[in-house]
Amino acid sequence: MINLETPRKFRAFVQQANQVADNFLRSNSRKYDLAEHAYPKELDLLASLIDGMGDSGEGQGAGAAGVRRDDTDSDKGKIKNGANMSSVLSVIEMCWGDVGLLLSMPRQGLGNSAIASVADDEQLERFKGTWAAMAITEPSFGSDSAAITTTAVKDGDAYILNGEKIFVTSGERADSVVVWATLDKSLGRAAIKSFLVPKSLPGIRVERLEHKLGIRSSDTAVIVLDNCRVPAENLLGNPEIDTKGGFAGAMATFDNTRPLVAGMAVGCARAALEDTRKLLEGAGVVIDYDRPVQSQSYAAATFISMEADYEAALLLTLEAAWLADNRKPNSMEASMAKAKAGRAGNQITLRCVELASTLGYSENELVEKWARDSKILDIFEGTQQIQQLIVARRLLGLTSSELR
């Protein structure tokens, strides 16, 4: 049974992550929000620190990249908190500091999480140390990953990739890109595979960088693949097309990364709630948990309601990570966590702007920035609507063709 307290073995680590988020990320938050596309050099030292923590075992799952489902004979039958739980707890603290800067951190992106989720042991060792961006979305589609048109054609000991990817987080800064492509469009979802594409290869180029509403410190690129020849061994996981398994192999990546994005939303929402509480208390607003909300001020009642939404999002996120660590199916729970946390995080930060009044709308406080940052967390890795659709399919026992 899941324990609702932070596991004892992670408490010191979580406290350390909070201190890092405060001293490194939040202290530079406004600076790089205003300096869009400027590389945050302060993150190099922090990334090296997180790499060291992971290598030493002191920070199992430190950062956003430490997701993987490992299971040994000695683990069977045991309840455990592993890399998925540790990564979610770490991400929550880091995004309490700054979402955009976490996404900018070398070797801690969602591309690295994809590698950790589906790569085999040999690939994990070979790609160790790479900084991988994640390239899924294309100009012709957003959340429907099965609509991928980027092609991968086998040619001897390599695949030839052609296509265009948009909204690639860390697309310019990363040294490689996890590209999702189809081996055979006629076979539908089953033929979609992911490839680790080093940016040093001929045929891959960054076309442009996007200007964005939020997470402005994180570069977001358009990437074009023009007859890019990728070694066959860079196809992540199993190269065989399993028409019976369908999209399951590719979706395994999302089952592990969606709780991380939910954790990002939870961390951002917590930051907004904490600062808004201070502003409200400074203005004389009393938040009393021993009185019914209807007998309190509008501001106090609203704040208590937001805290309830925050707690629900947090618990769903922890449940999804815990299930992954314990080798249990978590596809529905991962989508539930992403849907709840993405929506609640955005609603909470926007409401905090309202409650903080003029301070919430100005650059004197970070509340307005968190409101801008939080919207993307309700969109990428599958929009709110897509998550609800996945949950509905799971609950009703329907396929994607039966419920669209």
Supply the DSSP symbol for 130. -
* Token duo for residue 360: 């919430």
Buried b (16+ CB within 10 A) or exposed e, 318-349: bbbbbbbbbeeebbbbbbbbbbbbbbbbbbbb
Residue with tokens 């991968």: 152
User: Number of C-alpha atoms within 13 angstroms, CB side, residue 97?
Assistant: 28
- The closest alpha carbon to 94, from 188, 176, 9, 21, belongs to 21
> 125 vs 47, 181, 280, CA distance in Å?
19, 23, 51
Q: Is 381 a catalytic residue?
A: yes
Beta carbons of 172 and 237 less than 8 angstroms apart: no
Residue with tokens 């707690």: 311
Which of these is catalytic: 138, 333, 368, 381?
A: 381
As a whole number of angstroms, the distance between CA 298 and CA 305 comes to 11
* Token duo for residue 90: 């770490």
Catalytic residue numbers read: 381
